[in-house]
Amino acid sequence: MLLTRHARERLIKRLAKNRKSERFYPQLWAFLDRSRRIDVNERIVIFTDGRKSLVCSRLDCERLPLEEIKERVGGISRAYECVFLDGRTARETIPRKFLESVPDGEYCFYINREKRSLYIGRAPPLLAITLRPAKKSERECAD
């Protein structure tokens, strides 16, 4: 899962209380573990625990083997926000160094060079848009 700037700030304020990605991503994953998933339509997904709701949008990705992913990010020398969903790791680092810790296999791959973010995982990526208080219908669904 990748984060918009707004979602990152909301997560830091409401869940993690810390700005380091090594600290707030584990809080995000803990929230997802205790939350219920609601598929609103083909693009929007909401995760709710009855008190808070995380609104996400699906991103388009490519399914590629790890070797091809390494080729695509080989020329990048700037730090990116790298997320490996299967291993639940997220770091701000150079992508080729980050990929050294990813096991071989075929993954959903998404890269945004403008925002400097990279996603790798077996499930298609989601972009967290905002974290907000749960609406009444979401509170009732979570029970």
pLDDT tens-digit map of 97-142: 998 888 999 999 999 999 999 999 999 999 999 999 888 887 775 5
Q: Please give the model's pTM, rounded to 2 decimal places.
A: 0.84
Structural domain spans, the chain: 2-134
Using CA atoms in the order 134, 139, 141, 142, what is the torsion angle rounded to 10 degrees?
Answer: 90
- d(Cα 29, Cα 48) in Å, to the nearest integer? 13
For 8-30, how does the pLDDT look when each residue is reduced to its tens digit (9 = 90+)? Answer: 888 888 877 766 666 778 888 89
pLDDT at position 21: 61
Estimate to the nearest angstrom the gap between the alpha carbon of 65 and the chain centroid.
20
Q: Identity (one letter) of the amino acid at 29?
A: W
pLDDT of residue 18: 67
Give the pLDDT of residue 88. 85
Torsion over CA: 26, 31, 36, 41 (sign): negative
